[in-house]
Amino acid sequence: MASVLVIDESQQRAVEICTGLIQAGHQVAEVLPSALELVARIEEIKPDIILIETESPSRDTLEHLGVMNRDMPRPAVDVAVAHFEEHLALKRELAETSRKLSERKVIEKAKGILMKSRGMDEETAYGALGKLPMERSQPLAKVAGNVVDMAELLL
């Protein structure tokens, strides 16, 4: 079990980090809102790990970290890396979800066009749309987009 010093400007985020650390079996030695008294606190607490989360560290914070690292080397884990990776994963997930929703809208619009112009019921229209991608080796969304484009051209 590692003793962890958490430094975070956001009290709410610090609580979330501490909860995760405790659940992972670590001991939270202390939580500091800034790195201003870092050297003194490290000498007193002697943590195994220091987690620092800061949006944009001040010059003073960087200087304190440099002094701390030079005088008392300790394993330092930068939580910002984990947050960044989580943020990127969420952005990718959002982009994928948006793409799927956009494709779904085009498919529904194409299905509606077939239902109206050909007098098909929903199941038959979807079945007709489903055959084209297999015949043309194209994704359903692309074929549906072509149907919508042609309908707009002809109407």
Domain boundaries, the chain: 3-74, 98-154
Token code pair at residue 27:
């001991």
Q: What local confidence, expressed as pLDDT, does residue 53 receive? A: 75
Q: What local confidence, expressed as pLDDT, does residue 76 receive? A: 47
Token code pair at residue 36:
């201003």
User: Comparing 72 with 155, which gets the higher pLDDT?
Assistant: 155
Q: Cβ atoms within 10 A of the Cβ of 93, count?
A: 10
Residue 140 has pLDDT above 90, yes or no: yes
The superfamily CATH assigns to domain 3-74 is Response regulator (3.40.50.2300)
CATH for 98-154 is 1.10.10.10
Degrees, nearest 5: CA angle 107-113-118: 125
What digits encode the pLDDT tens for the residues 31-76? Answer: 988 777 777 888 888 888 888 776 666 677 667 667 766 766 657 4
Average pLDDT, the chain: 84
Alpha helices (H) in the chain, listed in sequence order: 11-23, 38-45, 59-71, 79-118, 122-136, 140-154
Confidence (pTM): 0.48
Sign of torsion, CA 39 40 46 50?
negative
Stretch 12-21: mean pLDDT: 88
Q: What local confidence, expressed as pLDDT, does residue 107 receive? A: 95
